[in-house]
Amino acid sequence: MCSHIKESQIMTTEKKDTAAELTTKQKQYLKGLAHPLNPLIQIGIEGLSSSLIESTKKELQHHELIKVKIGKNSGLEKTKTATEIAEKTESTMVQLIGKTIILYKSNPKKPKDKRIYIPKK
């Protein structure tokens, strides 16, 4: 019975998101960086299509920190949509304000001088 508990604990540890957990201080820092940004991705009537997810992944790879705008005609619930897009793109949702989502995903392949460095925990 103990071995079963250990296996389930191991399984839940493996299923944790690939996105890094950010502290409040780190989120505040990223919000400050994101403030002047314009939304790069617009979610429209087609919703969270596979092409939208792919273009979001590409933008995250290129910019690391992006804004995503949920359009008025999309008919999507903002909290559920924000969580879903973060999961599908393996990124971290920094903030949801109104219908604008701020997503962050570190890209270690970017040159060191082009990366976003967030404060230590």
- Is 7 contained in some domain? no
The pLDDT of residue 48 is 93
- Is 26 contained in some domain? yes
Q: The CATH number of the domain where 97 resides is what?
A: 3.30.110.60
- Is 6 contained in some domain? no
As a whole number of angstroms, the distance between CA 103 and CA 94 comes to 6
As a whole number of angstroms, the distance between CA 26 and CA 117 comes to 10
**C-alpha distances in Å from residue 18, one per residue of 14, 80, 99:** 9, 19, 24
Per the structure, how many domains does the chain have?
1
- Is 120 contained in some domain? no
Beta carbons of 38 and 61 less than 8 angstroms apart: no
Taking the model in full, what pTM does it have? 0.81
pLDDT tens for the chain, 121 residues long, are 444 444 433 333 333 343 568 999 999 999 999 999 999 999 999 999 999 999 999 999 999 999 999 999 899 999 999 999 999 999 999 999 999 999 999 999 888 888 898 888 6
The pLDDT of residue 119 is 86
- Is 71 contained in some domain? yes
As a whole number of angstroms, the distance between CA 56 and CA 107 comes to 14
The pLDDT of residue 20 is 62
- Is 8 contained in some domain? no
Which residues form the domain of 71? 19-114
- Is 90 contained in some domain? yes
- Is 52 contained in some domain? yes
